[in-house]
Amino acid sequence: MTPQRIVAPARGQIKLDSFDLPSVGPDQVLIETHYSAISPGTELAFLHNKPNTTGQYPFYPGYSACGQIVEKGDAVTALAVGQRVACRIPHASHFVVEADRCLPLPDAITEVEASVYRLVSIALQGVRKAQIQLGWEAAVVGLGPIGNLAGQLVRAAGATHVEGIDPVGWRRELALHCGFDTVAASNEQSSRPAGFEAVIEATGVPEAVPAAFKLAKPLGQVVLLASTRGETDGVNFYRDVHKKGLTVIGAHESIRPAVDDHLFYRSHRSDDETSLKLMAGSRIQIDPLVSDVVPAAEAARAYERLAKREEQLMLMVFKWR
């Protein structure tokens, strides 16, 4: 066995490289990866050193995968060798990881779908922080993978009208297919000129933040779910935030309790478990979001395709076996 992993040795470069696995510790397991999903917004941002990224290379992308346990440490009792699991690991054919970062895979979801579970969890923690109430009307600005998932989760949380806003037509069509009630190309074309109780900003584009403020009703919630790549200029906080009494929530996925859940702040594991349950129960749709499954050997080409934006690509998944 010669393990391989995807690495960015320098800005804009991707290759598949061999590496040495460490020995399996008492609380660890060795995963043989079957599929791993690209998180396009985050991984492309770090690959190309966009604002608010580290700019450090080599960079090892990926954090959402599924596979099979082939070895476990002596202290691991909750998981078994041969068991299929979803796990937070980089893009790699094999990886040694703490057992508590792995979750048993429900039979009701495919392995390709399971590889996307961490993106669901990221969207979920942002929706939780919005504290959606039954009967609310909500808008999602940006209908990429995280925005689409956020809209589906907003509906699952009890919103009775969910609108998606995105200038790209095929993304709007996909949002309607996934259960959004209405879509619009811009906030000026919104079906709710009076605004929304909750607005989720999921573009990461600095200029989209003021638009999210304007879409919110007085006393509404604005959740900054996407990682903004740059600084937002020209915000009139008196007019757009202060006078409207808005609550603005920074929802970076790292802001979670380490272990114990607290109100709508849930641990990584708790949100990951909920994500798998929602997927298994068909409460959200994953399959329409997976645009292509490609061999890991085609990693460089996959990132190039996503960066060029010449195809209708939402999510791409690497196949490792």
We report the CATH number of the domain holding residue 222 as 3.40.50.720
Q: How many CB atoms lie within 10 A of CB 218?
A: 10
> Which residues have a Cβ under 8 Å from the Cβ of 58 and sit 6 or more positions away?
7, 8, 9, 10
Residue 256 pLDDT: 85
Token pair of 154 as six digits: 């907003």
**231 and 140 both lie in a single domain:** yes
CA distances from 112 to 26, 33, 216 (A): 29, 11, 36
Residue 274 pLDDT: 96
**199 and 295 both lie in a single domain:** no
User: Rounded CA gap, 155 and 145, in Å?
Assistant: 16
User: Rounded CA gap, 221 and 26, in Å?
Assistant: 45
Q: Does residue 158 fall inside a structural domain?
A: yes
User: Rounded CA gap, 237 and 222, in Å?
Assistant: 13
**46 and 61 both lie in a single domain:** yes
Q: Does residue 69 fall inside a structural domain?
A: yes
**131 and 228 both lie in a single domain:** yes
Q: Does residue 75 fall inside a structural domain?
A: yes
Residue 257 pLDDT: 82
**190 and 131 both lie in a single domain:** yes
Give the residue from 226, 250, 274 where a domain finishes: 250
Q: Does residue 277 fall inside a structural domain?
A: no
Residues of the domain holding 238: 120-250
**140 and 242 both lie in a single domain:** yes
Residue 242 pLDDT: 95
**135 and 195 both lie in a single domain:** yes
209 closest CA partner among 225, 193, 195: 225
Task: Give the residues across from 183 on adjacent strands.
Answer: 164
Q: Does residue 279 fall inside a structural domain?
A: no
Give the residue from 250, 274, 297 where a domain finishes: 250
Residue 77 pLDDT: 96
Q: Does residue 35 fall inside a structural domain?
A: yes
Residue 263 pLDDT: 81
- The per-residue pLDDT for range 87-127, each reduced to its tens digit, is 999 999 999 999 999 999 999 999 999 999 999 999 999 99
- The CATH number of the domain holding residue 308 is 3.90.180.10
**152 and 182 both lie in a single domain:** yes
Residue 187 pLDDT: 86
Give the residue from 223, 250, 277 where a domain finishes: 250
**111 and 127 both lie in a single domain:** no
Classify 91 as helix, strand or coil.
coil
> Which residues have a Cβ under 8 Å from the Cβ of 117 and sit 6 or more positions away?
64, 66, 86, 103, 272, 275, 276, 279
**145 and 206 both lie in a single domain:** yes
**136 and 195 both lie in a single domain:** yes
Tell me which DSSP letter residue 59 carries.
B
**243 and 292 both lie in a single domain:** no
Total domains in the chain come to 2
Token pair of 308 as six digits: 């060029």
User: Rounded CA gap, 251 and 265, in Å?
Assistant: 10
Per-residue confidence of the chain (321 residues) as pLDDT tens digits?
A: 799 999 999 999 999 999 999 999 999 999 999 999 999 999 999 999 999 999 999 999 999 999 999 999 999 999 999 999 999 999 999 999 999 999 999 999 999 999 999 999 999 999 999 999 999 999 999 999 999 999 999 999 999 999 999 999 999 999 999 999 999 999 889 989 889 999 999 999 999 999 999 999 999 999 999 998 989 888 899 999 999 999 999 999 888 888 888 888 888 999 999 999 999 999 999 999 999 999 999 999 999 999 999 999 999 999 998
Q: Does residue 272 fall inside a structural domain?
A: no
Q: Does residue 43 fall inside a structural domain?
A: yes
